[in-house]
Amino acid sequence: MRTYLVTGGAGFIGSNYIHYMFRKYGDQIRIINVDKLTYAGNLENLKDIEDRDNYTFIRADICDSEAISKIFEENDIERVVHFAAESHVDRSIKNPEVFVKTNVLGTLVMLNAAKAAWELPDGSFKPDHKFLHVSTDEVYGSLEEDGGYFYETTPYAPHSPYSASKASSDMLVKAYMDTYHFPANITNCSNNYGPYQFPEKLIPLIINNALHGKKLPVYGDGKNVRDWLFVEDHCKGIDMVQEKGRLFETYNIGGHNERQNIQIIHIILDTLREMLSDSDPRRALVSDDLITYVEDRKGHDRRYAIAPDKIKAEVGWYPETKFEDGIRKTIAWYFEHEDWMKNVTSGDYQKYYEDMYSGR
């Protein structure tokens, strides 16, 4: 039975990935989920699979080399899928240090532990043992409004402390591949949306605020463009890259779904109005009047867009979910998980929200 080590599996994409993998492979695989459980990690995301015999959760910091090495010593890990990171751009602008620690040093710890466990005396690596580093399209910088795409060959030009830290971690993975022939892939993907996303990110924040009749903060002129990808499509892409992709290659994973932020907000408002019945008290709260233009994000990248040509040609992956379907599924999930949202927005979230938005 193949063993996967998933880092950051209690976060948004990681928990979706673990669900996806158990749906796809059932009892044929074993997953060890290593997560520090920061504000973004939530074991509620994994409630329905936590009792499986082929699933283990270990609370550990990826910067803790002893703890991580022990996991490799005690298990024959054949696949690493490395999600764990500080992931929110706005937080990185306020507090960059933890981004460098987790995203850069934590990735180095993961690489060293896997290398030590997998390297054979002649310097080659155990066959069929692979590391996949999950990264972002933000490493490529910002595109002009009127055209162009990010390709795997686009030079790195990160702007935020978050994207600079992710770019550094990508460079470390590339360095390990070039120097040691370490068996890895890098995937750089566009903005994900879907179930279990923490409401600091645009889509769940807008859904939650609209349902409570709270202001919908739009940074700048609202015309920044992101390329939205349904999270389940992303999880499928990661698995396909590990199984069908060429080792040592980078693959960009994008939704082919560019939208301005203000368009996203209007789609969410329209979809909420369609999905809420007239008798639902929340329907009266959902209003375009909640849209509030606020001070722009510092260094706000204008446009991201991926042409996912390489992954389509080499791996056969393409983004299957149309945005109109994905956003309905997402909103339906938030309707069905009101308690999840209540739990994550109590306590520390209130303080975060005040700090981030009161001055805007």
Residues near ligand DAU (CB under 6 A) are 87-89, 136-138, 190-191, 201-202, 205, 217-219, 224, 226, 261, 297, 304
For ligand DAU, the closer of residues 60 and 218 by Cβ is 218
Q: How many beta carbons lie within 10 A of that of residue 157, not counting itself? A: 14
Q: Does 11 bind ligand NAD (CB under 6 A)?
A: yes
Residue nearest to ligand NAD (CB): 11
At 218, is the secondary structure helix, strand, or coil? strand
> Which of ligand NAD, ligand DAU, none does 217 bind, CB closer than 5 to 8 A by kind?
ligand DAU
Q: Which two tokens stand for residue 216?
A: 């919908």
Smallest distance, ligand NAD to C-beta of residue 76, A: 21
Q: Is 138 a catalytic residue?
A: yes
Question: Which span (149-157, 190-198, 272-280, 329-337) binds ligand NAD, by CB under 6 A?
Answer: 190-198
Rg (CA), the chain: 20
- Considering only residues 314 through 353, tell me which ones interact with ligand NAD, judged by CB under 6 A: none
- Helix axis angle, 106-118 to 65-74, nearest 10°: 30
Applying CB under 6 A, among 3, 25, 29, 37 the residue interacting with ligand NAD is 37
| Residue 235 DSSP class | H
CA distance 28 to 225: 40
Instruction: State the binding partner of 84 from ligand NAD, ligand DAU, none, CB within 5 to 8 A by kind.
Output: ligand NAD
Is 283 strand, coil or helix? helix
Bridge partners of 119?
A: 125
Q: Is 149 labeled as catalytic in the residue annotation? A: no
Instruction: Please pick, among 17, 55, 162, 196, the residue that the annotation labels catalytic.
Output: 162
CB 189 within 8 A of CB 241: no
Catalytic positions, written as ranges = 137-138, 162
